[in-house]
A and B are shown apart, each in its own frame.
Chain A
Amino acid sequence: MTGNAKKFLREAWRMTRDLRHRQTVRTALENNEIARNQRQAAFQDWPAARQAAAETRWEAVNQLDQHLTVFAERIALRGTKVHWASTDMEACQIIARIIQTKGARYVIKSKSMTGEEIRLTQALEVAGFEVVESDLGEFIVQLRHEAPYHPVFPALHLARGEIKELFQRELGDVPSDSPEDLAMAARSVLREKFLAAEVGITGANFAIAETGMISITENEGNARLTATLPKTMITLLGIEKILPRLEDLALLMPVLATAGTGQAMTAYNTLYGGPRQFGENDGPTEFHVVLLDNRRTKILADVEQRDALHCIRCGACLNVCPVFRNVGGHAYGATYSGPIGAVLMPHRRGLPDWKHLSEASTLCGACTEACPVKIDLHHHLLQNRRNAVRKQVSYLEQFRYDVFTSLVNHSLVWSLAKKSAWLAWPLHKIVKGTVLDPVRAWSRARDLPPVPRESFKDWWRTRK
């Protein structure tokens, strides 16, 4: 077992015992589910919308080279500088160099999972810049020195009281734990940061090839401030975020909002086509777009799992995942958690170190059912298990399955096994739940049903 797997198991033990966490997350995600269901019902035909969204993403991903070239050409026409980064380190270096060239020190950042992926904030801090997260949830977890708990709701795991205490400790007096007061407390700090920042860094929800534009979706307006107040704007995005046409947004925006936050549309939806143009009085004077590969082309090369690049980072698969709900976002120890994380992480960091996430699933398929762009998530977990065995077989496990095969493929042996189980059943009561119990992993918290003397096949035989 690798270190990552051990860490995951340790965290899973800790988190599943934390009943307060279970309740907080369950309540929050149940409310999300209600809102999502209402929004889905408002679509004339949600399954058809999903299908169309999946096909649009398929088209984008399967002709990625063409769309990317068009996008880069068109956005550059309006004076945007386009950068290509193969790795996380390269992307961080490109961004640090831009900030350095500007002689800047203060950076304001809006929400970006791709930024988390390349550990951008940490890299910039090491390079001597001050980076402040402007998304409320991200701001909260930054104050706690934590990674976001969830890609859409970074502070989902925290109760309002906890946030109030945190703000009081870090920012000064907060009158109450009402959402308004909490937002005001953060805003008073953040406004200063916005005004002081010389560089703004954003993520992107989509990149439109046809028009050469970046599409950003948000609910707080902080991304707009991040993109427009500082003189220099940098947008970091993965190369898979492409959409072929502007009109694709008409479908993808409501699909993203519905699946992600249960809204018809998010509050602010903005398209950025370049820096301030001649005759315009606001907006950044310089605009950089950093397109990141970071092994996305590896996923593209995997025909079986290529659809993982369809992901629009809505978080719907996490929201419905019973494993995520119980272990929480931090237990994964990965930027992308939940089912999509379990699919992406082996591609990014290698299957041997990350196969445990594919094993930590009942393959219930709730994720696949929820995914608005129809990524075949739970079947990818099944493929990962097969691939992991092909790569590195566990001889003990293989032996167990070989024994199992000879057991069930010989009806006489199978009958004897059932009889032995029946005979052993009274003995099990004595050792139940103790270290001597061979099925302790089961019986620590669960009873086994009594083994009946007569199995179905016994009954069938005597009946004839």
Chain B
Amino acid sequence: MVAFASPGFDRMTVTLFIPCFVDALFPRAGIGMVHILERLGHKVVCPAALVCCGQPAFNAGYWEEARPIAAQTLDTLKDAEAVVIGSGSCGAMVKKFYPQLFAKTRREELALQVAARTWEFSDFLVNKLEVTDVNARFPARVTFHDGCQGLRELGLKQPPRTLLAEVRELELVEMSEAEDCCGFGGTFAVKFPMISTAMGEVKCASALETGADYIVSNDASCLLQIQGLLSRQGAKIKTIHLAEVLDQQ
């Protein structure tokens, strides 16, 4: 853990963007992020107007409907020093797709600026703060599931693993299909429930093969899908967000 009182420490004001479904369904993941960022000595703010990135409408093709949501988010983040998003897919929305959504509009420049100042949580710790050890202890065997957008849109294969490697008493066992999609895909999960479920079943089987106690991910939406299936199957393995693991002392 970085000693924040050390000389040269740059105390930042971090605007933490807890996406809508994490806010409503996985509050502990958000709380974990606040704890960790504060323990590292940074000031955390969570503006009330930051609720959703607009991805559901955007991914469904309803760009006009997504724009007011994205605009409110962008305007709220206008003066933020650093933005941390607690989800790889919402992170990809802000970093990669906002500039497309606002291309040739008056917010294009703002979208590009905010994109450059926005980080997914694990990316922020490892690549911006250069912190790999957050002094966590989690005595369990875990396997890590890569959320697709964090993995492929943002290229975040390594940061979560770097962080997990430093957690005391934690053993990481990779599953054979760690990079395979869990089948959530937002509205895809209810528009094509049979494909979504089949994909999730393959994922769960792959995770169960590792004999892990927990499936960890930096994307809560994947955990919603995986946990939903495992709970119905009555499987013992549990799901947990990366931030919750890192928050365990």
Q: Does A280 contact B (CB under 8 A)?
A: no
Mark the stretch among B7-15, B19-27, B122-130, B132-140 that contacts chain A.
B19-27
A322 touches B56 (CB 8 A): no
Q: Which chain B residues border A360 with CB–CB below 8 Å?
A: 188, 191-192, 195
CA distance A32 to B245 in the complex (A): 35
Mark the stretch among B163-171, B207-215, B224-232 that contacts chain A.
B224-232
CA distance A449 to B228 in the complex (A): 7
CA distance A17 to B61 in the complex (A): 29
Q: Does A421 contact B (CB under 8 A)?
A: yes
Question: Whose C-beta in chain A lies nearest to the C-beta of B177?
Answer: A30
Option from A363, A366, A418 in Cβ contact (under 8 Å) with B23: A418
| Min C-beta distance of A277 to chain B, whole Å | 50
CA distance A251 to B31 in the complex (A): 51
Q: Scan B188-219; emit 1 where CB is below 8 A from any A CB, else 0.
A: 11111111111110100000000000000000
A22 touches B65 (CB 8 A): no
Q: Does A78 contact B (CB under 8 A)?
A: no
A364 touches B148 (CB 8 A): yes
CA distance A214 to B191 in the complex (A): 44
Mark the stretch among B43-51, B77-85, B111-119 that contacts chain A.
B43-51
What's the dominant secondary structure at chain B's contact region?
helix
Q: Which chain B residues border A442 with CB–CB below 8 Å?
A: 189-190, 193, 228
| Min C-beta distance of A70 to chain B, whole Å | 37
Within 212-249 of B, Cβ neighbours of A (below 8 Å) are at 224-225, 227-229, 231-232
CA distance A16 to B194 in the complex (A): 6
B199 touches A362 (CB 8 A): yes
A363-B27 in contact given A409-B69, A446-B228 (Cβ < 8 Å): no
| Min C-beta distance of A446 to chain B, whole Å | 3
A455-B228 in contact given A12-B192, A12-B195, A365-B152 (Cβ < 8 Å): no
B20 touches A12 (CB 8 A): no
Within 320-372 of A, Cβ neighbours of B (below 8 Å) are at 322-323, 325-327, 359-366, 368-369
Question: Whose C-beta in chain A lies nearest to the C-beta of B46?
Answer: A460
Q: Does B108 contact A (CB under 8 A)?
A: no
Q: Which chain B residues border A9 with CB–CB below 8 Å?
A: 192
CA distance A25 to B68 in the complex (A): 43
What's the dominant secondary structure at chain A's contact region?
helix
Q: Which chain B residues border A441 with CB–CB below 8 Å?
A: 189-191, 193
Q: Does A452 contact B (CB under 8 A)?
A: yes
Q: Which chain A residues border B102 with CB–CB below 8 Å?
A: none
Mark the stretch among A197-205, A222-230, A311-319, A381-389 that contacts chain B.
A381-389
Q: Scan A260-299; emit 1 where CB is below 8 A from any B CB, else 0.
A: 0000000000000000000000000000000000000000
Q: Which chain A residues border B25 with CB–CB below 8 Å?
A: 449, 451-452
30 contacts between A and B (CB under 8 A): A322-B180, A322-B199, A323-B195, A326-B195, A326-B198, A362-B183, A362-B188, A363-B148, A363-B149, A384-B61, A385-B61, A387-B61, A397-B60, A401-B60, A401-B65, A402-B65, A404-B56, A405-B54, A405-B66, A442-B193, A446-B225, A446-B229, A447-B231, A455-B27, A456-B26, A456-B31, A457-B48, A458-B27, A459-B30, A459-B31
